[in-house]
């Protein structure tokens, strides 16, 4: 807290203590906050929804205005809350102290300079707008990220085309955001320091209320790294057979553009290329979904049915009326999937440019998990209407999706028709497909905020933004850029959550604890199969286990919530390791000693085309043409 802020608070406390007739009790203040905060939250949410589902200058202005109004409201409530927290003559209950502390922690809304506050809000909306409107022209087609570029990376195996699209997206999004992002960091840090935090990174980490949080997640990462390295080695070898060894640097890295995803964050779209046992069925049910006529709405209905079978409520009428489940054709929208609590009666929504495929079916369950969390804690006080920690919110839907993706459940949905889903080779295929989603993501989920924390601390300057980014990606993920990158590039800005001001370590946390949640639900359901074959569909006992934790919201510290469902008070990667143990044994046997990569990025990324090979092909072709021509000429000469 700054000296000015302390002085204002001290004066207010003095005024507060000499005006007994005007005092509210803490309980009265909290009740009033509850009445006033929800309409304010709803106003901001409606303005943000309007902007993200219709990106216009007018909607940007309305949203910035709503944010500024909310910031002023938050500042007033923060000062009032501090009066109670710092007045030693008031005896607060533990619950009152917890609520008041949350009210006082208002983030960047603490900025009292209206000009700077407005500039900060405009920078964020401008970055969102640049990202959402970006287009890349590949050959004769100009594509936005959704669905065009996403589909290109999902289906294309043309190295040159993918490289062009990969670089083009970063030119049209990240590069244009870089200067704005540097200003965003400066203004954000300045605002958050008013509350006494060193920088934005420290503020973001405070959401986990664990002094050793950074060390804890580093320990989790080290726990899963050996398994990731084995997966990386197997995928690298299989992709070399597809693209040729010449595009792979000798450093052992995998070029970032050939993993089926714009950011190489999940690799499930190359599953058909690296499938261990080609003759056995895949667990990617995209083709079957399309053959059966699935639609975006029926995908959401499928997810709703799973939650309902566990004892959760169905989606509300407002959900079906106001959600955006498909990409509109008449306007620009933010396609990144998200769930929304509008903080008004039964108004919960999802915004998603849904495609009919296996990946999006799982994303639908993920987003509906957020909505179910909202609905379960809706009777908590407003300040407790959030996840026990940010990773909890992300883990709920994914816990359900772990059950949905089992061959057992896909057979229940009539989407998978394997005769023997317990066949060892089918089992490895299944675990490989899951690993390409879950394991492949973990280093990416870990490193984004490693980069941002260093930026917020000031140890990474704007001129070295990109160098620091690729240092982490090459060192921790074993991924390297397909083309040379320079200080003018800003590749972190090509990922939605960076310009979108969304902390990312929550996803790493969620990818670990979802396996803890999953194992707990499976145990509650009496599962006796290997963990990766557990389907707790239609089991209210498992559902009750989940719901009892969700109903707490953030009213208790997250270790209490974790203990409620798992019996443990610490995040632990052991259930994840148990889940993938059969795959680890397979990979170790397949890879032998061929795994790992050097820490440093390759200086000169190999090009897609092999020059020597290309000239050999040209000379061979020319020789064949000449040979055929001469032979034809011989046939035309009369014999003597």
> What is the set of active-site residues?
367, 497
How big is the chain, counted in residues?
640
Q: How far apart are CA 613 and CA 605, in angstroms?
A: 17
Backbone angles phi, psi at 69, to 5 degrees: -65, -40
Burial tier of 8 (Cβ tally within 10 Å: 0-12, 13-18, 19+)? middle
Q: How far apart are CA 247 and CA 608, in angstroms?
A: 5
Contact (Cβ atoms closer than 8 angstroms) between residue 239 and residue 270 = yes
Contact (Cβ atoms closer than 8 angstroms) between residue 617 and residue 609 = no
**Spatial CA neighbour of 350 closest among 359, 419, 360:** 360
Query: Does 24 show up as a binding residue in the annotation?
Result: no
Radius of gyration of the chain (CA): 27
Cα distances (angstroms) measured from residue 195 to each of 96, 107, 124, 186, 221: 20, 8, 21, 15, 31
Cis peptide before 147 (omega within 30 of 0): yes
Q: Which residue has the tokens 């905020």?
A: 449
Contact (Cβ atoms closer than 8 angstroms) between residue 248 and residue 255 = yes
Query: Does 331 show up as a binding residue in the annotation?
Result: no
Query: Does 366 show up as a binding residue in the annotation?
Result: yes
Name the 3-class secondary structure at 350: strand
Query: Does 208 show up as a binding residue in the annotation?
Result: yes
Query: Does 394 show up as a binding residue in the annotation?
Result: yes
254-255/135-138 β-pairing: unpaired
Q: How far apart are CA 404 and CA 11, in angstroms?
A: 57
Q: How far apart are CA 365 and CA 449, in angstroms?
A: 25
Q: How far apart are CA 565 and CA 539, in angstroms?
A: 15
Cα distances (angstroms) measured from residue 403 to each of 193, 337, 359, 488: 43, 21, 14, 44
DSSP string, 449-476: HHHHHHHHHTSS-GGGHHHHHHHHIIII
Binding-site residue set: 208, 366, 370, 394, 506
Q: Which residues are annotated as a binding site for chloride?
A: 208, 506
């Amino acid at each position: 807290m700054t000296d000015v802020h302390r002085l204002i608070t001290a004066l207010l406390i003095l005024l507060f203590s000499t005006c007994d007739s005007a005092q509210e009790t803490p309980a009265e203040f909290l009740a009033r906050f509850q009445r006033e905060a929800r309409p304010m939250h709803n106003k901001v949410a409606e303005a943000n929804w309007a902007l993200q589902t219709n990106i216009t200058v007018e909607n940007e202005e309305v949203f910035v205005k709503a944010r500024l109004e909310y910031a002023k409201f938050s500042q007033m409530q923060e000062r009032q809350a501090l009066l109670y927290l710092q007045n030693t003559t008031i005896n607060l209950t533990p619950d009152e102290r917890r609520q008041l502390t949350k009210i006082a922690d208002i983030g960047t809304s603490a900025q009292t300079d209206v000009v700077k506050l407005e500039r900060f809000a405009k920078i964020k909306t401008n970055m969102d707008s640049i990202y959402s409107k970006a287009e890349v022209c590949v050959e004769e087609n100009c594509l936005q990220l959704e669905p065009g570029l996403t589909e290109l990376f999902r289906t294309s195996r043309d190295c040159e085309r993918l490289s062009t699209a990969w670089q083009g997206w970063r030119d049209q999004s990240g590069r244009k955001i870089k200067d704005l992002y540097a200003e965003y960091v400066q203004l954000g840090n300045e605002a958050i320091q008013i509350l006494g935090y060193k920088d934005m990174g420290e503020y973001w980490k405070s959401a986990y209320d664990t002094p050793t949080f950074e060390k804890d997640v580093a320990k989790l990462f080290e726990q899963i790294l050996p398994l990731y390295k084995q997966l990386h080695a197997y995928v690298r070898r299989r992709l070399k057979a597809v693209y040729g060894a010449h595009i792979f640097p000798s450093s052992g890295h995998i070029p970032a553009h050939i993993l089926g995803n714009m950011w190489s964050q999940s690799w499930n779209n190359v599953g058909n290329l690296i499938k261990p046992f080609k003759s056995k069925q895949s667990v990617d049910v995209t083709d079957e979904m399309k053959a059966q006529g699935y639609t975006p709405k029926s995908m959401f209905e499928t997810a709703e049915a799973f939650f309902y079978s566990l004892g959760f409520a169905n989606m509300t009428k407002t959900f079906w009326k106001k959600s955006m489940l498909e990409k509109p054709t008449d306007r620009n929208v933010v396609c990144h999937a998200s769930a929304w609590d509008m903080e008004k009666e039964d108004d919960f929504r999802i915004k998603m440019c849904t495609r009919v495929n296996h990946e999006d079916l799982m994303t639908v369950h993920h987003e509906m998990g957020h909505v179910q969390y909202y609905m379960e804690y809706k009777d908590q006080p407003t300040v407790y209407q959030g996840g026990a920690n940010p990773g909890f919110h992300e883990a709920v839907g994914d816990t359900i999706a772990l059950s949905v993706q089992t061959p057992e459940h896909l057979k229940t949905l009539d989407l998978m028709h394997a005769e023997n889903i317990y066949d060892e080779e089918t089992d490895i295929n299944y675990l490989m497909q899951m690993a390409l989603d879950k394991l492949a993501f973990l280093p990416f989920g870990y490193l984004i905020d490693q980069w941002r924390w260093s930026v917020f601390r000031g140890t990474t300057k704007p001129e070295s933004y990109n160098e620091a980014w690729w240092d982490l990606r090459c060192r921790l993920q074993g991924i390297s850029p397909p083309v040379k990158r320079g200080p003018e590039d800003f590749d972190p800005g090509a990922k939605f959550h960076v310009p979108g001001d969304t902390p990312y370590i929550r996803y790493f946390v969620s990818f670990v604890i979802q396996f803890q949640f999953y194992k707990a639900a499976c145990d509650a359901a009496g599962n006796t199969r290997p963990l990766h074959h557990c389907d707790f569909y239609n089991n209210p006992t498992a559902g009750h286990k989940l719901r009892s934790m969700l109903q707490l919201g953030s009213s208790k510290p997250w270790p209490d919530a974790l203990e409620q469902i798992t019996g443990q008070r610490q995040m632990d990667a052991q259930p994840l390791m148990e889940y993938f143990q059969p795959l680890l044994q397979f990979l170790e046997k397949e890879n032998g000693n061929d795994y790992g990569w050097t820490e440093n990025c390759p200086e000169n990324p190999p090009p897609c085309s092999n020059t020597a090979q290309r000239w050999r092909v040209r000379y061979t072709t020319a020789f064949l043409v000449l040979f055929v021509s001469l032979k034809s000429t011989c046939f035309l000469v009369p014999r003597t």
